[in-house]
C-alpha cells in the first residue's frame, strides 16, 4: 500500500476558517450522545464464525482531541460523536445500542419481553448488540421486530435477534411499512452490482482508518461486513394513526413513503412520550440522492411529513430518537430539532426550484444557494452524509433530469473521447498534466481534478497523471466536511495508486435473493441478458411454482426476456417446476444450480442452456477513476 501525502497549506487554511466560523463551543451533542450510558462493549470488535472481524469500532480510537489538518474539523467532530458506542438508556424502558454498526438498534421493554426497532446490517453485529442489551437488562425474549424502512442497515441483522422459525411459529411478529419487501429487495438486486461497487467508495470500506484515511461516513462510522439476512414482515402497516400493542408496548405509526426511503414509517410510543423518527430526522443533512446511486428522493414529501410529525406528536414527545445518531431530549428542543430538519429539506427544495426557474443549472444552483444562518449553524443540518451541493443537483434531476437544456450537452463525446480531445487542445497529455499541476499548486483542486482526470482518461498508464490525480483527490478528501465525499475522494486516490479493490460488502445477499417474487426474479434474469448476443435467440419456458399454484410463460425474443402470467399461444420449449423457495436458483443462471435446488425440467432442456449462454452478469470490480 502506498503512503498518504501531507496536507497542503490551502486545505489547512480552509480547515482553520471553518474552526472559526462554526459554533464549536456548543457541546450539547456530546452531552446527548453520552447521556444514559449503561455500559460500553469492550473491546468492541465483532467477529464472524470464521473468526474474521466484521466490525471494529475500536479502530476509531484515534478520534481523540483536536482535529488534525488532514480532516475537516466539522467532520472530525461528527465522527467523534458517531463513534461513541455502548448500550444507552433513552428513557426508562427504552434502550439503544449505538456504535456497533452504521445504524442503531432500539429495545422497547414490554410486560415480559422486548420489541426491537431495526436490526443493524448484519447478523453478527445484531447478535452482539442483543447480547450487550441482555447482559445488562436481563434475558428478555424478543416479542416483535419493527423495520422502520427498507434499507439493509435496518433489517440485515434480523437473524442475529430471532430465527425464521421464531417468526414462522408466530412467537415473534415482524412489522414493516407498506411496500417494504418490494423496495428492500428491488433496491438491492436490480442495480445492486453497481450500487455495491459504488457503496465501497461511499463508505470507504477498503480504506485504512486514521487521520489520513477513513474517519467515518457521517451517518455512522462505516458498514459492518457480516452476513445480511432477511425475514419478511408478518404484518404490514399502511395507515397513519394505526396502533399496535405488543407485549404491552403501544405503538402508533406515521407513514412517510418517498422520504428517506420509498417505504418508511415513524413510530410514536405514547406511554414513553417518545418518538422514533426512523431515518427522517437525524443529526445530518441526509441524502436526496445517495452517492452510491439510487432513485432520487422527494424533499417536498420529506418536509411535509415532518410537519405532520410535529402536528401529530409534537405536543407529547419528550424525546426523539432515530435509527442513526443520538437522541434529543426536552419538548422544546425536540420540536426545534424537527423543525430544523424539516426546514433544511423544504429550503433546498424551494430555493432550487426558484433558481432553476430563472434558468440556473444544478452546478450553478449548488454554488449560488445560501442557507439562513440559523440552519447554517445548526449542527444537525450540516452536510455530513447528504450535502447541499449534491442534494441541489438531485432536486434539479428530480424535476428536470440529466439534461440542462444546453444543446452543447445533448450529445457529448464519451469521457475517453473528450479526454483525448482535451489533451490535444492542451498540446498533449504532458501539457495537460502541467496545467493540472499548476492548478494543484495554486490550491484549485477542483480544476486540478478535472484536468488530471482528462489526462488519465486520455492515457491511463501515464504515471505522472495518475499520481497527480491521486494527490488531488486526497487533498479534496482532506478538505471534505462530508464523510461520503471524503471516502469517495480517498477511495479514488487509493485505486489510482494501488489498483482496484472491488466490492468488499454486498447487500444482494442470498436471503434477499430468496425473497424475490417470481416476477422480480424474472426481471433480475432479464437485466442480465446480453442484448446483441441474444438477438437471434428465440425460446419459451413455462415456469410452474407448485406450492403457490402460479404459472408463467417466460420467453426470449429480440434480445428481451419477457414474462406473463396470462395464458400464451403455442407450446413452450421446456417447463420448469419449482417451489417458491427453490425458484431463486433460476437467478444463478446455471443449469446445475437448478438440479441442486430440486427444480424439475421437462421438454427440451437445452432451452435453459441457450438462455444461460446469453446471460452476462455485472462486474463487481468495474473501473471508476480510470477508463
For the CA atoms of 542, 546, 551, 557, what is the dihedral angle to 10 degrees? -30
> Does residue 101 bind Zn ion (CB under 5 A)?
no
CA torsion sign for 343, 349, 354, 358 is positive
| Three-class SS state of 387 | coil
Tell me if 153 contacts Zn ion by CB under 5 A: yes
Which of 234, 204, 237 has the alpha carbon at shortest distance from 488? Answer: 204
Site string for Zn ion, 596-625 (x = CB under 5 A): ------------------------------
Name the minimum Å distance from CB 222 to Zn ion. 13
Q: What are phi and psi of 560, to 5 degrees?
A: -120, 130
Q: Which of residues 132-151 bind Zn ion (CB under 5 A)?
A: 151
Q: Measured from the CB atom, is 103 or 472 closer to Zn ion?
A: 103
Q: Which cell is 189 given?
A: 438486486
Residues 98, 376: Cα–Cα separation, whole Å = 27
- Read off the C-alpha cell for 209: 482508518
How many Å apart are CA 162 and CA 158, to the nearest integer?
Answer: 6
CA 593/CA 387 separation, integer angstroms: 44
Indicate the burial class of 215 (C-beta count within 10 angstroms; 0-12, 13-18, 19 or more): buried
Minimum distance between the CB of residue 259 and Zn ion, rounded to whole angstroms?
12
The answer to whether 311 and 287 have CB atoms below 8 angstroms apart is no
Nearer to Zn ion, 123 or 435 (CB): 123
Q: Give me the least distance between CB of 39 and Zn ion, in Å please.
A: 24
Query: How many residues belong to the site for Zn ion (CB under 5 A)?
Result: 4
**Least separation, in Å, of the C-beta of 153 and Zn ion?**
4
| Contact indicator for 51, 129 with CB cutoff of 8 Å | no
Nearer to Zn ion, 218 or 362 (CB): 218
The candidate with the shortest Cα–Cα distance to 67, out of 53, 57, 81, is 81
- The interface region with Zn ion, picked from 78-86, 133-141, 152-160, 404-412 by CB under 5 A, is 152-160
Stretch that binds Zn ion, among 14-22, 25-33, 95-103, 246-254 (CB under 5 A): 95-103
Of the listed pieces 31-39, 275-283, 393-401, 496-504, which binds Zn ion according to CB under 5 A? Answer: 275-283
Give the residue with the Cβ less far from Zn ion, 77 or 151.
151
Closest approach, Cβ 261 to Zn ion, in A, equals: 8
* Residue in 142, 290, 203, 148 with CA at minimum distance from that of residue 504: 203
Q: Does 542 bind Zn ion (CB under 5 A)?
A: no
Q: How far is the CB of 152 from Zn ion (least distance, A)?
A: 8
Question: Would you give the binding string for Zn ion spanning residues 410-449, x where CB under 5 A is met?
Answer: ----------------------------------------
**Strand partners of residue 563:** 554
Comparison of 14 and 148: residue with beta carbon closer to Zn ion: 148
By C-beta, is 102 or 167 nearer to Zn ion?
A: 102
Rounded least distance, CB 103 to Zn ion, Å: 5
Strand intervals (E) in 257-405: 265-269, 274-276, 319-321, 328-329
User: Both ends of the chain: CA-CA distance in Å?
Assistant: 22
Decide: is 32 part of the binding site for Zn ion (CB under 5 A). no
Over the window 278 to 297, marking each residue x when it contacts Zn ion by CB under 5 A and - when it does not, the resulting string is -x------------------
What residues make contact with Zn ion under the rule CB under 5 A? 103, 151, 153, 279
Amino acid at each position: 500500500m502506498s503512503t498518504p501525502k501531507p496536507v497542503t497549506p490551502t486545505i489547512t487554511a480552509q480547515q482553520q476558517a471553518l474552526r472559526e466560523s462554526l459554533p464549536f463551543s456548543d457541546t450539547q451533542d456530546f452531552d446527548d450522545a453520552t447521556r444514559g450510558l449503561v455500559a460500553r462493549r469492550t473491546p468492541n470488535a465483532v467477529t464472524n464464525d470464521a473468526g474474521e472481524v466484521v466490525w471494529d469500532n475500536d479502530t476509531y480510537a484515534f478520534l481523540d482531541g483536536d482535529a488534525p489538518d488532514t480532516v475537516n474539523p466539522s467532520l472530525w467532530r461528527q465522527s467523534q460523536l458517531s463513534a461513541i458506542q455502548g448500550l444507552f438508556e433513552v428513557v426508562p424502558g427504552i434502550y439503544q445500542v449505538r456504535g456497533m454498526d452504521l445504524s442503531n438498534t432500539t429495545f422497547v421493554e414490554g410486560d415480559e419481553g422486548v420489541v426491537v426497532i431495526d436490526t443493524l446490517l448484519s447478523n453478527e453485529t445484531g447478535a452482539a448488540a442483543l447480547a450487550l442489551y441482555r447482559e445488562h437488562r436481563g434475558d428478555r425474549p424478543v416479542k416483535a421486530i419493527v423495520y422502520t424502512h427498507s434499507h439493509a442497515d435496518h433489517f440485515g441483522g434480523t437473524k442475529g435477534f430471532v430465527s425464521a422459525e421464531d417468526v414462522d411459529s408466530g412467537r415473534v411478529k415482524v412489522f414493516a411499512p407498506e411496500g417494504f419487501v418490494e423496495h428492500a429487495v428491488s433496491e438491492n438486486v436490480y442495480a445492486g452490482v453497481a450500487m455495491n461497487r459504488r457503496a465501497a467508495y461511499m463508505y470507504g470500506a477498503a480504506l485504512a482508518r486514521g487521520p489520513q484515511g477513513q474517519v467515518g461516513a457521517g451517518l455512522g462510522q462505516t458498514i459492518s461486513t457480516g452476513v445480511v439476512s432477511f425475514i419478511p414482515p408478518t404484518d404490514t402497516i399502511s395507515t397513519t394513526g394505526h396502533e399496535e400493542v405488543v407485549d404491552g408496548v403501544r405503538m402508533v405509526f406515521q407513514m412517510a413513503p418517498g422520504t428517506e426511503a420509498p417505504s418508511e414509517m415513524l413510530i410514536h410510543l405514547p406511554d414513553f412520550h417518545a418518538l422514533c423518527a426512523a431515518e427522517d430526522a437525524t443529526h445530518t443533512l441526509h441524502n436526496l440522492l445517495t452517492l452510491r446511486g439510487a432513485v432520487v428522493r422527494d424533499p417536498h414529501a420529506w418536509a411535509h411529513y415532518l410537519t405532520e410529525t410535529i402536528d401529530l406528536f409534537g405536543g407529547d414527545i419528550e424525546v426523539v430518537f432515530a435509527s442513526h445518531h443520538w437522541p434529543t431530549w426536552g419538548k422544546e428542543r425536540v420540536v426545534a430539532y424537527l423543525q430544523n430538519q424539516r426546514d433544511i429539506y423544504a429550503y433546498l427544495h424551494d430555493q432550487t426550484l426558484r433558481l432553476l426557474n430563472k434558468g440556473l443549472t444544478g452546478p450553478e444552483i449548488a454554488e449560488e444557494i445560501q442557507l439562513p444562518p440559523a440552519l447554517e449553524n445548526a449542527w444537525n443540518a450540516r452536510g455530513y452524509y447528504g450535502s447541499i451541493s449534491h442534494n441541489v443537483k438531485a432536486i434539479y434531476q428530480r424535476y428536470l433530469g440529466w439534461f440542462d437544456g444546453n444543446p452543447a450537452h445533448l450529445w457529448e463525446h464519451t469521457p475517453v473521447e473528450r479526454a483525448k480531445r482535451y489533451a490535444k487542445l492542451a498540446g498533449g497529455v504532458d501539457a495537460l498534466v502541467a496545467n493540472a499541476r499548476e492548478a494543484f499548486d495554486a490550491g484549485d483542486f477542483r480544476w486540478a481534478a478535472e484536468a488530471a482526470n482528462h489526462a488519465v482518461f486520455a492515457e491511463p498508464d501515464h504515471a505522472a497523471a495518475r499520481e497527480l490525480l491521486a494527490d488531488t483527490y486526497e487533498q479534496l478528501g482532506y478538505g471534505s466536511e462530508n464523510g461520503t465525499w471524503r471516502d469517495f475522494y480517498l477511495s479514488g486516490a487509493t485505486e489510482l495508486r494501488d489498483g482496484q479493490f472491488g466490492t468488499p460488502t454486498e447487500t444482494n445477499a442470498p436471503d434477499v435473493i430468496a425473497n424475490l417474487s417470481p416476477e422480480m426474479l424474472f426481471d433480475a434474469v432479464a437485466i442480465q441478458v446480453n442484448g446483441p448476443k441474444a438477438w437471434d435467440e428465440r425460446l419459451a419456458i413455462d415456469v410452474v411454482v407448485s406450492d403457490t399454484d402460479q404459472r408463467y410463460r417466460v420467453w426470449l425474443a429480440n434480445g428481451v426476456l419477457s414474462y406473463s402470467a396470462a395464458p400464451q399461444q403455442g407450446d413452450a420449449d421446456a417447463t420448469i417446476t419449482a417451489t417458491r423457495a427453490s425458484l431463486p436458483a433460476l437467478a444463478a443462471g446455471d443449469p446445475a444450480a437448478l438440479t441442486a435446488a430440486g427444480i424439475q425440467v421437462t421438454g427440451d432442456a437445452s432451452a435453459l442452456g441457450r438462455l444461460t449462454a446469453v446471460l452476462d452478469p455485472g462486474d463487481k470490480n468495474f473501473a471508476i477513476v480510470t477508463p
